[in-house]
Structure 1
């Protein structure tokens, strides 16, 4: 796996390295703002705090798309934005439903989230053959399952387990970032398609 300190071996430009770094930290940002939204929801904090966390979450698919746009073009970037935005909204809805104890909605959102992940796996592995389907599926489903466990442990007031789980999620997010970056490095190193210069 191409860790961040190994990337100079690929003779990448500064612009490409910066893009890879941005790609690498997106999942850590996702984990951080999901947690903020979770805490603000369950502690019934000032609505402005919850709205601010929601906006930060909604900004992430756009940042993701900006990276994709450079290498895959506008259509791919826009399609991914839709998928990622839907995933983010579903996660927030799942948190809200868990807070209110709405079991039917919890089950519905959970099923929709899993369908969204499968759609994103198919999409990602189609646009970049260097992202392997089994690997992408495992990464995205595991991140999601850990996030759902984080929601449930907070809802059950098992705060120590919740904190420990969040720490593991951050570590896992770094692993995801490494894998996404590695696939992107291979794409613009070995693919015949020329990336767009940022």
Structure 2
């Protein structure tokens, strides 16, 4: 008889929190690069080959995680299937662009067959995962992906932001099911040294001492930290989509800007849940000002107005200094210098990203975006560590 060991909603440890985060993030990153690949195929932003390589390489991240938990053989089999999925997706787009209906149908058949095979393999490897559940997950994910393709085919972007939000929200659900299954698998037997090593390997932030494993927070607190952790990723992603709307005329500029501002709204709401009245309108206005300055910079670059671009850049760095100072003042577990340096790096990269849109250097543009996403992930990890320590120290209830 298999005894299930579910997450304790009232006591989730740091390692469990990071397992949940990593499981969500790996699916989110796959979705982000899928969208970037589709943009390269339909809109010509970035070369098809370089974007396909980046999407293909996302499979290796699943392989790394699976090899730690289920072994090399399983990892190789699942990675091969995920690579086949990526190839079938490429062939689907090619067939559609060529008007090859038979090719489209064959590619769709391959994609759904691949989803079934991945579901079967996962269920075989882990008794805590259900084959029908995984199959439904993969088929739903595929349908969302096809929705994106259809918006590019028709040029109707009226619901694009909402559709992408549905996809990213669904990746959270996938990640949660993924994380719970891995946790149950790892804790099916008493925690041994090798199990602890797996926990640490799956955790992007190093454990300082084993006693850290005994500290815990609630599931609501985990979700709040996750939202704040993902702020940097969401900011980078929607800023890019806004850049695409301005430089390429793709999508509704106003809708995308509203979605970008919503990222800040959600960020402020979550900050207030943790820090209360310390989160003032003055600070939130700094973040809204950051977006306004990015818009001013883009407009100045498009209009070739070097003076306004230089002034917007100066104000962006000033804004970053003020933001870092404020965040460090409300949480002793955040370092002002580190935050400032990370914000400075983000601004430099965003300016470079905007410039490459202007010059049409799309391969370099994709490299910059990849660095921005890596930077966002690292910043989010650091942010999460400070939040976890703050909640523990204050014994907060959310």
Give the TM-score of the pair, scaled to structure 1.
0.90
Residues 144-184 of structure 1, C-alpha deviations (whole Å, 9 max, x = no match): 11111111111111110001111111111111111111111
State which of 222, 225, 239 in structure 2 corresponds to 1:17: 222
- What stretches of structure 1 of length at least 5 have no aligned partner? none
Question: Whose radius of gyration is greater, 1 or 2?
Answer: 2
Q: 2:383 is matched with which residue?
A: 180
Question: Runs of at least 4 residues of structure 1 off by over 4 A?
Answer: none
Q: Partners of 2:389 and 2:281 in 1: how far apart?
A: 22
After TM superposition, the structure 1 = structure 2 runs for residues 88-103 of structure 1, keeping only pairs within 5 Å, are 88-103=291-306
Q: 2:270 is matched with which residue?
A: 67
After TM superposition, the structure 1 = structure 2 runs for residues 90-129 of structure 1, keeping only pairs within 5 Å, are 90-129=293-332
Kindly indicate whether the alpha-carbon contact (under 8 Å) linking 2:232 and 2:380 is maintained by their aligned counterparts in 1: yes
State which of 278, 289, 295 in structure 2 corresponds to 1:86: 289
Q: 1:51 is matched with which residue?
A: 254
Kindly indicate whether the alpha-carbon contact (under 8 Å) linking 1:117 and 1:141 is maintained by their aligned counterparts in 2: yes
Residues 23-55 of structure 1, C-alpha deviations (whole Å, 9 max, x = no match): 111111111111111111111346xx1111111
State which of 247, 263, 271 in structure 2 corresponds to 1:42: 247
CA shift at 1:120, angstroms? 0.3
Q: Partners of 1:28 and 1:126 in 2: how far apart?
A: 23
SS at 1:73 equivalent:
helix
- What stretches of structure 2 of length at least 5 have no aligned partner? 1-13, 20-202, 206-211
Residues 2-28 of structure 1, C-alpha deviations (whole Å, 9 max, x = no match): 882359933110000001111111111
Q: Partners of 2:303 and 2:363 in 1: how far apart?
A: 22
Q: 2:58 is matched with which residue?
A: none
Q: Partners of 2:284 and 2:226 in 1: how far apart?
A: 19
Between stretches 77-86 and 141-150, larger displacement belongs to 77-86
Cα RMSD for the two superposed structures = 2.0
Residues 65-114 of structure 1, C-alpha deviations (whole Å, 9 max, x = no match): 11111121135243321111111111122112111111111011101111
SS at 1:130 equivalent:
coil
CA shift at 1:194, angstroms? 4.8
Q: 1:152 is matched with which residue?
A: 355
Kindly indicate whether the alpha-carbon contact (under 8 Å) linking 2:278 and 2:330 is maintained by their aligned counterparts in 1: no
Q: Partners of 2:332 and 2:378 in 1: how far apart?
A: 19
Residues 123-146 of structure 1, C-alpha deviations (whole Å, 9 max, x = no match): 011111110112111111111111
Kindly indicate whether the alpha-carbon contact (under 8 Å) linking 2:242 and 2:253 is maintained by their aligned counterparts in 1: yes
- 1:29 equivalenced with 2:234 (yes/no): yes
Kindly indicate whether the alpha-carbon contact (under 8 Å) linking 1:65 and 1:77 is maintained by their aligned counterparts in 2: no
Q: Partners of 1:93 and 1:56 in 2: how far apart?
A: 18
Q: 1:164 is matched with which residue?
A: 367
- 1:4 equivalenced with 2:4 (yes/no): no
